[in-house]
Amino acid sequence: MLYNALSTLGMSRKLQSTMTRQQMELVRANEEVATGIHADVAATIGASTGRDIALRNLFDRTDEYVKTTDLLDGRMKMMDSAMTSIIASGTDLLAAASTGLGQQSPTGSSLQVRARGVLDQVVGLLNASAGNAYLFAGTALDQPPMRNVDGDKSGLRAPMQIVRDAIQSATGGTEMPKTAAETAAVIAQLDDLFAVRDPATPAPAPLTDTFEGGLYTGTTSLQPGGAASPRVAGRPADSSTIAYGVQANDPMMRELLEGIYMLAAVDTSAMDVDAYPDYIRTAVDKLSGGLGKLREATAQLGVQRAQVATLAEQHKTQKSILSLQIDNLEGVDPYEASTRISQLEAQIDATSDATARIAKLRLTNYL
């Protein structure tokens, strides 16, 4: 009679190999329970791997758009808040200045102080930033667009001094106009100072500075040669680009700032009676015109924020759908995985017991 004999050493090694394999399967099963994903997705889903990769790529792109829309909404929200604050401060100053339209107010000096406070506030708001990006600087995101009213360390004349020098160049050297003709000359000079112009052309004499460079240091309205400079834009979707950037050198901002500077640069209560009416009326008109256009820009920004919010919801919905589709391919049934873990643990226990019994076998047990 023939017997197939297997040594205890051979049996022990076979059981150890079996237990090692079972332990590896247990580790993988525990990992799948923890992550909810197959340990080897490609091996598990086979021919569906290509579809899974395509879904993953679309998910990643959609996730980037979700982040983009969140970033855009955050910037737009801060811009809206700053513009709303500028409108509120400018409206208060407009109301105070309008009381002097009928006749010259003896409290013009307090109006000058008030205008200076509003000017500092508006300049500060136009230098608002989100993260490392200045909101109203155009594409020059890395530097504040507005110079401090009293100047900085650049060595250039202070913006307030530039405005006062422009006034004096039109009056023949006096701090404020004394006649209606001088007022007209001052207004023309300030209009030249705050005008949009080709940065390649010099300031019109007798001015030596312009708004851009003297008061504002962000992206210029025009490129050298006269073409419009690129605007800040966001791309919240494949087929959607939103040019949402409001710049501190936009015409409405120039008009508003010109009106504020006119009130902050001189004490209108000390102005000659012939020069006063046209001066105060022009300052009020500049304020009113700039504020009106700024309100329109704020409303437009609100419309753009609504567009971004709609796209953001679409992206989030698409992301959720893609996540479910990916989970259907890559996901592990937690009940099935838990059952497999229990089975593997039982198998490992049985293998361990068998290995222990074999280890105790001795020839003397049978002699």
Pair type for strands 129-130 and 133-134: antiparallel
Query: What's the token pair of residue 103?
Result: 């006749």
Q: What type of residue is 273?
A: V
Residue listed under structure tokens 């329109």: 296
Strand partners, 222: 228
Residue listed under structure tokens 């704020």: 298
Q: How many CB atoms lie within 10 A of CB 43?
A: 9
pLDDT above 60: residue 365? no
- Regarding predicted confidence, which is higher, 16 or 310? 310
- Regarding predicted confidence, which is higher, 280 or 1? 280
**How far is it, in rounded angstroms, from Cα 342 to Cα 344?**
5
Give the lowest-confidence range in 130-144, 295-309, 348-362.
348-362
Whole-Å CA distances, 272 to 101, 116, 178, 276, 326? 14, 21, 5, 6, 78
Query: What's the token pair of residue 44?
Result: 């598990």
Contact 279, 262 (CB under 8 A): yes
Q: Helix, strand or coil for residue 228?
A: strand
pLDDT above 60: residue 108? no
Question: Among the residues of 99-141, which ranges form H helices?
Answer: 108-126
- Cβ neighbours for 206, distance < 8 A, ≥ 6 positions apart: 169
- Cβ neighbours for 290, distance < 8 A, ≥ 6 positions apart: 90, 252, 253, 254, 255, 256, 257, 258, 259
**How far is it, in rounded angstroms, from Cα 97 to Cα 286?**
11
**How far is it, in rounded angstroms, from Cα 233 to Cα 239?**
13
Contact 93, 115 (CB under 8 A): yes
Residue listed under structure tokens 């490609």: 42
pLDDT class of 148 with cuts at 50, 70, 90? very high
pLDDT (tens digit per residue) in 311-326: 999 999 999 999 888 8
Q: What type of residue is 366?
A: Y
State whether the Cα torsion 25-26-27-28 is positive or negative.
Answer: positive
**How far is it, in rounded angstroms, from Cα 142 to Cα 129?**
9
pLDDT class of 1 with cuts at 50, 70, 90? very low
**How far is it, in rounded angstroms, from Cα 80 to Cα 305?**
9
φ and ψ at residue 60, rounded to 5 degrees: -65, -40
Mean pLDDT throughout 128-139? Answer: 93
**Cα Rg, the chain, nearest whole Å:** 38
pLDDT above 80: residue 28? no
**How far is it, in rounded angstroms, from Cα 262 to Cα 282?**
9
pLDDT class of 356 with cuts at 50, 70, 90? low
